[in-house]
Structure 1
Amino acid sequence: MNRREVAALLAYAVRLDPRSAPADQAAADETLDQWADLLADVPSTAPHPTGRPWDASQVVRHHIATSPYPIKPSDVSRPWHAFRRDVVDRHHDPVPAADPDDPAAYRAELLGTRHAVALGAAPAATFRELTGGPAPEVAERLAALGSYVPRSVAQALADYRPRRAERERRATEGLPDPLNVACPYEQCRARAGEPCRNVHRTPRSTAHPSRLDLATARHYAPEAAA
């Protein structure tokens, strides 16, 4: 991000969390210098082969919504580097347009493509057309769960957000998700997307059996009809 983009990101962070507002102009300039230096190689947005792109503003929003600590520039740069590693790991070098009889040009195009992918300036090339990739409905279910979190980060956070981790697992494995439907249990009636609750209205770690049955029936209904 350039200095203007970083300034806009800082303004967004202050709007969400006024605690982070600098005390005076000198402090504001110093903060902008620090953020601009650390985020110089971090783009504001970048594509991802699964269709869940990087968005620096969403990283800021997630941190402020989930952490009790004021946001630092490293809270943006670290997730970006995890995102970038995930994208690069998925990238397979496409056949360069350069003449293979010109090794220097051929190699330069390969390296240029890899560099652009690593910077987020170009999408990763995958062999999805050969392997098929994830089924469209799987990609849709994962996208519906929210903005992108790299696999390595998601695994590290699984213990802290078990409900989402379970929903992602079910989406990836093509299993019915009880939170996709409202709970039919009379004493619960949790809406779609919300966890079931016990008689004390405390969230349950698992869905009521009748809710899972309903989700299962709806999940397999199109397949059965076919």
Structure 2
Amino acid sequence: MTEDELTALLAFARTRDSRVRRALADPQQSARTIAEWTDALADVPAMLPATGWDASHAVRRYYEQRTGDRSSQFRPVEPHDVLAAWAPHRAELMNRHTDPVPAADPDNPQAWREELLGTRAAVAHGHVPPAQYRAAIDRPGQRRALALVEDVGTMPRPYVPPAVADELAAQGFGTRRKAFPELEVGCPLHTCRAHPRRRCRRPSGTELREHTHDLRQRAYSEHLGHLMTQTPAARPVRARHTTGGQHR
């Protein structure tokens, strides 16, 4: 938040707490308070209408004592109260974010990494909305995609042996593809640790029905990469039988 935004936020807090009003009545104390809040909340946006964040709502909830916290009875609102309210909202933004492919040259690892981390930081600070590529491939997205390609390729499909179709489905391709092929591996997230073929869970224990954790998706990608680098097993040599007698 900028200094002007913090001034407006403190003016809102004055209407809720006479202690803030008295502290801001002195010009020197007011300037010092605004400077301290601006430094502490520099990475917290004042408002994000698209995601429902509003710093003034965090101040109001502090005084409404919705969570049973009675701190407002003993002290006025402080910067760390706003930070505590912003932290779960920021975590939700990052959980919905899917890293877009950087525009930097992939042969320049430093520039590629800087752009990737810069995009994540911009989302975490509320400067840009999360890139929700995953929203396009969830179950409703799959139905929309199937509707778009319903009339594509009306000619009979080439024959694919069942064993090959099953293998493609395991890798996430074909008409038999699995909704979440990453369930083939366990989830490495420390708050989940779901076993293979088990859905990811929230810290509360409830299952995730529409997506899986990012770390599990990355682990599955690494698993596929490992499989692709393995040398295929040699095919057994079969004896060829002929008819018509022996060759002389």
TM-score of the superposed pair, with normalisation by structure 1: 0.51
**Would you say 1:38 and 2:40 are equivalent positions?**
yes
Unaligned runs of 5+ in 2: 142-208, 210-248
Q: Deviations over 1:44-66 (max 9, x none)?
A: 1236xxx5321111111221222
Letter in 1 for 2:87: H
Are 1:86 and 2:85 an aligned pair?
no
Instruction: State the partner residue of 1:27.
Output: 29
1:17, distance to aligned residue in structure 2 (A): 2.6
Q: What is the alpha-carbon root mean square deviation over aligned residues?
A: 2.7
Alignment of 1:104-143 (within 5 A): 104-126=110-132, 127-132=134-139
Q: Percent identity?
A: 44
Partner of 1:63: 62
The residue type paired with residue 64 of structure 1 is Y
Deviation at 1:113, TM superposition (A): 0.9
Deviation at 1:94, TM superposition (A): 1.4
1:1-226 matches, within 5 Å, as 1-21=1-21, 22=23, 23-46=25-48, 52-66=51-65, 68-69=72-73, 70-126=76-132, 127-132=134-139
Count of residue pairs the alignment pairs up: 133
The match for 1:146 is none
Residues 133, 116 of structure 1: alpha-carbon distance in 2 compared, 3 angstrom cutoff: farther
For 1:162-221, what per-residue CA distance to the aligned partner results, in whole angstroms no more than 9, with x for missing partners? xxxxxxxxxxx9xxxxxxxxxxxxxxxxxxxxxxxxxxxxxxxxxxxxxxxxxxxxxxxx
Shift of 1:13: 0.8
Q: Who wins on radius of gyration, i.e. which is larger?
A: 2
Q: Which protein is richer in helix relative to its size? A: 1
Could you say what secondary structure the match of 1:94 adopts? coil
Instruction: State the SS of the aligned residue for 2:101.
Output: coil
Deviation at 1:86, TM superposition (A): 2.4
2-side partners of 1:31 and 1:117: how far apart? 28
- The one-letter amino acid paired with 1:28 is S
Give 2:136's aligned amino acid: E
- List runs of 5+ in structure 1 lacking aligned partners: 135-172, 174-226
Name the amino acid aligned to 1:30.
R
Deviation of the 1:34 alpha carbon? 2.2
Distance in 2 (alpha carbons) for counterparts of 1:96 and 1:41: 23
One-letter identity of the residue aligned with 1:29 = A
Higher relative contact order (CA 8 A, sep 6+): 1
- Displacement of 1:91: 1.6
Displacement of 1:101 after TM fit?
4.1
For 1:133 and 1:54, the matched residues in 2 are separated by 26
Structure 1 equivalent of residue 172 of structure 2: none
Q: Quick one: distance in 2 between partners of 1:133 and 1:56?
A: 33
